[in-house]
Each structure stands twice: as C-alpha cells, then as structure tokens.
Structure 1
Amino acid sequence: MTSRQGYGQILREFEVSPKKRLGQHFMIDPGLLRTVATLMLPDGFAWVALELGSGIGTLTRELCGRAEWVYAVEKDRDLSGAAARMTGSLPNLTWIWGDALEADLTGDGLRQDHPESELALVGNLPYYLTSDLLYRALIPRTPWRRLAFVVQEEVGERMAGRAGTGDFGRLSLWCQYRAEITLEKRLPAGCFVPKPDVGSCVVSLDMSDYFPLSEEREGFLDAVSRSAFSKRRKTLANGLTEVIPDKEAVIAALKNAGVDPAARPQDLGVEGFVAVVEALWPLRHLSNRNSLS
C-alpha cells in the first residue's frame, strides 16, 4: 500500500476523520513522504528514531526504511486500526500510544537500549504543541544526534531567526545554542489532509558536541531568556528584573561585560546571551528564586 490513493483508501476504510483539537494533518503523498524521511534521517548513520505525532503511520513507514528502529508516539488511539494496517508488517517498529508531552524527550531511555546508535527525535508535530515539545527536547542536555520536524512555516522561521530581526526569540536562542539549524524544505498547505490554513516546512537541527556554558549555567540561561523575551520590547536592564531585581547591579555587570543594557533581547544572538549569563552569574545570589525554578 504505497500510493496516495492507497493511503486515502485506508483513511476511508477505517473512517479516520482528522481531529482539529489534536492538530491532525496527515501527509499521504508517497513521494513527499520519502523526501521528508530522507531529510529527517540522512544516509550514513545507524539511526534509532523517536517519532512524535505518528498519526496513521505514513511517515513512520518511510522512517523505518531508513532506521534500525523507530518508536512511534501517537496520542489518538482511534487511529490504531489504520496504523496497524499501514505498518503492521514492519519488523523494526514499536508503537507507543500516549501523549507526546509524556514521552521521554531526554533520549536517556533510548540511549540505554541502543548504546551504539545515533539517536534522532523526529515527527510531524501538532502545531499547538510545537514550542512546548521543542523546549523540552532542547533545554536539557540530551544524547540526541539530530532533531528534525515538520512544523508550521512561521515556527521554522522563528527557529532559524537571525539576531537583530523580529524572528529572533527564545526559541531561536535555544535552537541555535544547541544545534546547527537548517530549513530543509517548504511544504505547501496542499501537501496535507486536511489542508491547513498555513504552509509548513521541514527543519533539522544537528546537535552540537560543545556548549559554551556549563549545565548549571544553562539553567540560568533558561531563566534569563524566559525573563528577557517575556518583555522583548523592554531593554535588557528592565527585562531582567525578574531574575536579578537589583537593576543597578545588572546595568553595571552588563556594561562591564561589554553588553549594552539598553539593547533589546532580540538584538543579542547566542553569543550575546552567553555573555549576559556570564556577566550576571556572580549576581545570582541576588536573584528572585522563583524565577530560577
């Protein structure tokens, strides 16, 4: 069953009606699915993939052809019959029926089960969960070698947004701090069933092996970035008071580090935020403890 008509037949046979509340938009074009799977799991690696939002398994089939093993996570159990028809013959697939937000996005469990494999976190993400899922995968240090997702085009542009532009935000910061990000392919709305209101894109993140901050200071970066971007129209000096209430101390520390206290957070980029964290780290004893939790 490898044709668009065949996939559509499965949807009809099992009376699958995509649920708007779950953000379900299925890809059923075989050529497109092969292209997306290739972009997600490139040649030359022994991949083990955790796929989020697997739907009826159309992309899952293609991922299984490129990976040693695929773990497919899907919340909607009403899709289980169609998914079984789509993927039942695949020997390297485990279905996990549950919420993606409750899945092990740290990758620690997969690393224990597959100590020698390259780990990838992939999927056609439900639009309403995208940012939450990305933060959970990006903020802690993980063993993921690659992250690759189909996301709303606007989200992809924010993930890859450059400093000094309106697209650069907290999500951009964490994506670019952790990885080399690439907008691989734009996908018109007509690629999906049902057709969404906006276009999508495939975005990949090749995870870095080196990070300029310690894990402890990365926790501080999380607090600093949340505070700064929650007030992105304010200057750094005003936007960081939730973390360090002593504004004068913040201004002095930033100036000493060569960071303009009057800058807006979107102007800094990754290096700028690293400099902010290093500058404010000695002042953390002055912090609002609630902001660091």
Structure 2
Amino acid sequence: MKQSKRLYSPAVIKEIIERHGFKFSKSLGQNFLIDGNIIHKIIEESSIKKSDGIIEIGPGIGTLTQSLCEAAGKVIAIELDNKLLPILEETLQEYHNLEIIHKDILKVDINRLIEEKLRDMEVKVVANLPYYITTPIIMKLLEEKLCIEKIVVMVQKEVALRMKASPGNKDYGALSVAVQYYSKPEIVVDVPKNVFMPRPNVDSAVIMLDVYKEPVVKVKDEKIFFGVIKAAFGQRRKTLLNALNSGIDLNKEDIEKLLEKTGIEPKRRGETLDINEFARISDEIYEMINNY
C-alpha cells in the first residue's frame, strides 16, 4: 500500500471534511463511499491492469480514486466542485499517476482528453456518478463513440435496472434500448444506502457496460432510429401505430404500410419491441423518406 490511511474509513472522512470545513452539496449529489468491500468489488469487476488508463467522474475526496491509482497505470479524475480540489491535493498527493481536472464532465472533450493524456492505453471509465446527472453522463460516454473499452459506474438502482431491462419488463424504456445499442449492461453488485456518507434516500447498484466496437444493430440513420424509440416510449399506453403517428413526421397510412412491411403488428406497444424491431422500423422509414 502506498498510503496507510484508507480514505473510505468514516473516521478518516470525518476528520478530513471537518478540518477543511467541507459541507456536502445536495445539488451536486455528493455521497462518499465508506465501504472498502464495495470499492474492492468495483476494482475487481473493472479488471484494471497497469496498462489501463482510467477516467473517474466525481472523485469526491478520493475514496475510490485511491484504489484506482493503485491498480491502474494512469487515472484522470474530473471534479466539478472547486472546494474539493485542495482536499484531493492533500489526500492523493502520494499518487504520481493521477491528474485532477477541474471541469464539468458534460463540457469535457473526452476524445481529446484520451488522445492527449491516455494515448496507447486501454481506457475505462470507473466512477461513483453523481445521481442527478447520471443519464446525461452515460449517454455522452456512449454517443460520442469514444475509444473506451468498459464503463463501470455506481448509479441509482432504478436507473441500473432501466439500463439492463428487456422488452416487456416494466423498467424497459428508451434508456434501455439506447444503452443496449452501444453496450452490454450487467449489474455486478447491489449497494445498500448505508455504505455512503451522507446516506442517500435510494439504493444503488454498480453497473458494468461492455462497450461494443460497433453498435449491436446496423441502422441506416441513427437520428431516425432514436426518433422512433423516443416516439414509441413517449406515450407508453398508446399502440405503436398511434405513438409513431404522434411522434414522427409521417401520416398514419404510411406508418401502417411500413409496419406491414416489417411484419410488426401496429397494435403492439413500444415496450414489447426489441432493438432489432426498432431497427427494422427506422430503416423502413429511411427508405420511405428517401424514395418520396
């Protein structure tokens, strides 16, 4: 061990935040992990090697960062809260393979960051994400088609269930299809409320997304594909025919024709369709639009 104090110890956290006069920010979703077993499990499931470059989002005071630095070749920790910067400089000063960046992750050019700081490394994102912006962060990481092998993140449990859900499941929705288009999700550990300081109101889960080199289905136009998904789940009680009629720029007769061509029953609801069926519908819409 490079450092005798383990930063996930509640006594250590209390001492550090009291000495720095740090106050937890609800608006920034700050909840620090205080369970070493969960941290070890995250490291283990991430399969981190010394040849890996890690991007961590929201390091807090460094409870997870410490173990990431000990396992990986290089760690880039992106922290929005400037009040945490002097704490991180102190708690992680012994780790020379760490770089802390003070920025909003949603405004970071991650492709450029990887090119400049993690070139020739296998890149993974490992983090305890701030829950208030979990979905925008996940979709940024996936939609930008980064050179990332794996994403292992702590999220609100209900969000993890939605990412992993299959057709017909009550949790299945637009997020499920979008995440599964880019990656294979797997919940690797359930996390109770009592392993955080302060304790959140919800249970959590660590989800691992194995990122595909190419999306799991080929579509002719991604914008149309995601437009179909948004329309299908926009009003869950509507039949597919009525949902698409409300959500995409085609008349009802044309939608009936294209559904007939795909062999998909118009009276089905969006939540029963799998990703391949969404792809078939979007490709038919593409053909219809381009043949007008």
TM-score (norm 2): 0.90
Matched, 1:277 2:282: yes
1:230 aligns with 2:230: no
Q: Distance in 1 between matches of 2:89 and 2:112?
A: 27
2:128 equivalent in structure 1: 124
State the AA in 2 paired with 1:31: N
Tell me the SS of whatever aligns to 2:289. helix
Stretch of structure 1 that moved more, 259-268 or 199-208: 259-268
Contact 1:120 1:146 in 2 (8 A): yes
1:177 is the counterpart of 2:205: no
Q: Give SS of 1:232's match.
A: coil
Q: Post-superposition shift, 1:129?
A: 0.3
In structure 1, what is the equivalent of residue 171 of structure 2? 167
Partner Cα distance (1:28, 1:20) in 2: 18
1:6 aligns with 2:12: yes
3-state SS in 1 of match to 2:145: coil
2:277 is the alignment partner of 1:240: no
Query: C-alpha offsets along residues 203-257 of structure 1, whole Å, 9 cap, x if unaligned?
Result: 000011233225x622221222222222222122222233233221111111111
2 CA distance for matches of 1:101 and 1:32? 26
* Cα distance, 1:160–1:217 mapped onto 2, change above 3 Å: same
What runs of 5+ residues in structure 1 fail to find an aligned partner? 288-293
Confirm whether residue 35 of structure 1 aligns to residue 41 of structure 2: yes
Shift of 1:142: 2.4
Residue identity matched to 1:267 = T
Matches within 5 A, 1:60-99: 60-99=65-104
Aligned-partner residue type, residue 32 of structure 2? F
> How much does 1:14 deviate?
1.4
What pairs with 1:193-204 in structure 2 (closer than 5 Å)? 193-204=197-208
The unaligned stretches of length 5 or more in structure 2 are none
Query: What is the Cα deviation at residue 44 of structure 1?
Result: 5.1
Report the identity percentage.
28
Question: What is the match of residue 56 of structure 2?
Answer: 51
C-alpha contact (below 8 Å) 2:49/2:72 kept by paired residues: no
User: When the two structures are aligned, how many residues end up with a matched partner?
Assistant: 284
Instruction: Please report the RMSD computed on the Cα atoms of aligned residues, expressed in angstroms.
Output: 2.0
Match of 1:23 in 2: 29
**Cα distance between partner residues in 2 of 1:210 and 1:22:** 33
Q: What is the distance in 2 between the residues matched to 1:254 and 1:19?
A: 49
The amino acid that maps onto 1:85 is E
Structure 1 residues 97, 184: CA separation in 2 closer, same or farther (over 3 Å shift)?
Answer: same
Deviations 1:144-187 (A, max 9, x none): 11111100011111010111111111111111111111100011
Q: Do the aligned partners of residues 58 and 274 (structure 1) sit closer, same or farther apart at CA in structure 2, a change above 3 Å counting?
A: same
> Does the 8 Å contact 2:53/2:123 carry over to 1?
yes
